Structure 1
Amino acid sequence: MAITLAEEIMLLSLDDESGSAKQRSAAGWAVSGGILLELVLAGRVSVAGKCLELTDTTPTGDELLDGRTALIETWLRGRKQRRVTEWLTKDQAKAVGAALESLCRRGVVVEEKRKTLGMFPMRRYPEADGVVEAELRERLRAVVVDGAEPDTRTAGLIALIHSAKLHRLAFPDSPRKEVTARMAQVADGQWAAENVHAAIRDMQAAMIAVTVATSTAVATAGS
C-alpha cells in the first residue's frame, strides 16, 4: 500500500536534517485523524456526527491501519460506537509513534537514538529517502498554490492539515493568509462521496473540540 495520510502528516512535521518533530502535539491530532480517514476510505470505520463505529475488521494489508483497527475494536469493548473525541484523545500521542515506526519500515526515515547531556535518551528520525516528501509537497502545492483540482486523498489530507493548523509545516515559504484561505476552500469543497465528506467534516469538528479543550486545560494549569 502507498504511504498513508497519517504518515504523510508525520513526514511534513519532521525536520529534514535533525529528524525531530515540529508542532508535535498538533501533528498528533492530525496523524490520528489521518488514520481514521484512511479507515473510512477503506470501509473499515464510519464517522457520523460525534460517533465512531467499526464496520469491518477485515485486514487492509497495511500494518499501521490494521493495528489501529484492532485497537479500536478493543477500545469499543463490545459497544457499537463511541465518541470520536474520546478516541482521538486516547490515540493522539501513540499515533505519532506508530506512524514513525511505519515510516521506518518503509525506509523513508531512519531511527537514531541519542542521549542528551549523556543521560536522557532521545530519538530522532532523519530522512533516508527524500523523494517521498518531495512528491508529497509537490502534490499539495499543485492544489493549494497552483489551484489544481484535488483528488479525494489529497483533499482529505489538506482538510486534516487545515483543521490542525499545520499550514506552516506544509507551506513554510508561502503567504499564510492565501494558503489558509485556499485550504479552507478545499476542506469545504464537494470533492468526495457524501459519506466521506461528512466523515471529514465531523472529524474536523472533533479535532477542533479536543485541541481547544487541551489548550484550555494547559492554560488553566499554568495560571
Structure 2
Amino acid sequence: MGEQPTLAEDLLLVLFQPDSGTIAGENTLFYVLAGAVLAELALDERVTSTTAGLGVTSIRAVDGRAPADPILRSAWDHVSGKAHPVQTVLPAIGPPLRQPLLDRLISRGDIRREKRKALGLFDTTVLIDGGSGRRSELLRDVRAFLVDGAEPTPRVAALAGLLWGSGTLPQFDAVIPWSSAVIARAQQLERDHWGAGAVAEAVTRTFNAIISSSILIATTALRR
C-alpha cells in the first residue's frame, strides 16, 4: 500500500504485542481507535467542534472536505449534516474499525499472519511482527515525548494520549518506563497539553477536544 498510514493504523500497530500476538487494551479498543480516526479528521480540517455550556463537545463534518480514505470517509459521513456529541460518535463508529485496520497493517507488512499447529493437532492462525520496524519507530517517538520531554507532533501526542486513555501504558514498561514522571507527563494530555506547534488554533482546538474526550470516555469505560 502506497498511502500514508492513518493515525488509527499507527495506534493499532503500537497496541499490537509481538510477544503474545495479541492487541493490548481490547476492552477499550473501539473507543481509542475511533478517537484516532476523529483526530485525523480534525488535523486534516475535515471536522470542526463546538463545546456546550456543560462541557459537552460536539463535532460536525466540514462541507466539501470529504476524505478519500474509506475508513475516514465513513466517520466523516457519520458526522455530516449536523453536530454530534463526541461521546455518541465514538461507540457508533468504533466497533467495526479493528478488522479493516488490522488488514491494512498486514497488507503493509507491519504484521503477518502465520499458520501454526495448536497442541500439535489443530491448525491455528497467529499474528507475528512483520519486521518493518515501524512499530519500534512509533514507540521511540512516544518515548521521546513521555520520557525525554521532546516536543511532540500532534500525531505523536495523540498516540501517547490514546495509549494513556486505553490503560495500556504500563504494558510498555520495557520501552517506556512506568514511572511517576511518565504518569505526570501523560496526565498533562488530559489538560490539553498537546504541543500542537504550528497547527492553526481552530484545528488545535478541535483536535484537543476530540482527544481529551476520547481519553475521558475510554478511561471511564476502563474503570467500570
TM-score normalized by structure 2? 0.77
Q: Secondary structure at the match of 1:94?
A: coil
Deviates more, 1:83-92 or 1:185-194: 185-194
Counterpart code for 2:193: G
| Alpha-carbon distance in 1 for matches of 2:124, 2:61 | 35
**Structure with a larger share of its residues in strand:** 2
Match of residue 203 from structure 2: 196
Summarize the Cα distance change of 1:71–1:112 in structure 2 as closer, same or farther, 3 Å threshold.
farther
How do 1:107-126 residues align onto structure 2 when only pairs under 5 Å count?
107-112=109-114, 124-126=126-128
**Structure with a larger share of its residues in helix:** 1
Counterpart code for 2:168: L
Instruction: Select 2:180's aligned residue among 177, 189, 192.
Output: 177
2:45 pairs with 1:43: yes
| Alpha-carbon distance in 1 for matches of 2:106, 2:34 | 18
Counterpart code for 2:74: A
The alignment's C-alpha RMSD in Å is 3.1
Match of residue 26 from structure 2: 24
How do 1:55-204 residues align onto structure 2 when only pairs under 5 Å count?
55-56=62-63, 58=65, 60-61=67-68, 63=69, 66-73=70-77, 75-76=78-79, 79-112=81-114, 124-172=126-174, 174-185=177-188, 188-189=192-193, 191-192=195-196, 193-204=200-211
Counterpart code for 1:37: A
| Alpha-carbon distance in 2 for matches of 1:37, 1:137 | 19
Counterpart code for 1:184: Q
Q: CA deviation at 1:41?
A: 0.9
Summarize the Cα distance change of 1:196–1:162 in structure 2 as closer, same or farther, 3 Å threshold.
farther
Q: CA deviation at 1:155?
A: 1.8
Counterpart code for 1:36: L
Q: CA deviation at 1:213?
A: 6.1
Deviations 1:59-106 (A, max 9, x none): 645x4xx33323541x35x63221211110122222222321221221
| Alpha-carbon distance in 2 for matches of 1:207, 1:183 | 14
Q: CA deviation at 1:2?
A: 2.9
| Alpha-carbon distance in 2 for matches of 1:100, 1:140 | 21
Counterpart code for 1:38: E
Does the 8 A contact of 2:154 with 2:195 survive in 1? yes
Deviates more, 1:180-189 or 1:22-31: 180-189
Structure 2 residue ranges without an equivalent (≥5): 52-56
Q: CA deviation at 1:24?
A: 1.0
| Alpha-carbon distance in 2 for matches of 1:163, 1:33 | 10
Does the 8 A contact of 2:25 with 2:166 survive in 1? no
Does the 8 A contact of 2:60 with 2:83 survive in 1? yes
Q: CA deviation at 1:54?
A: 1.1
Q: Secondary structure at the match of 1:93?
A: coil
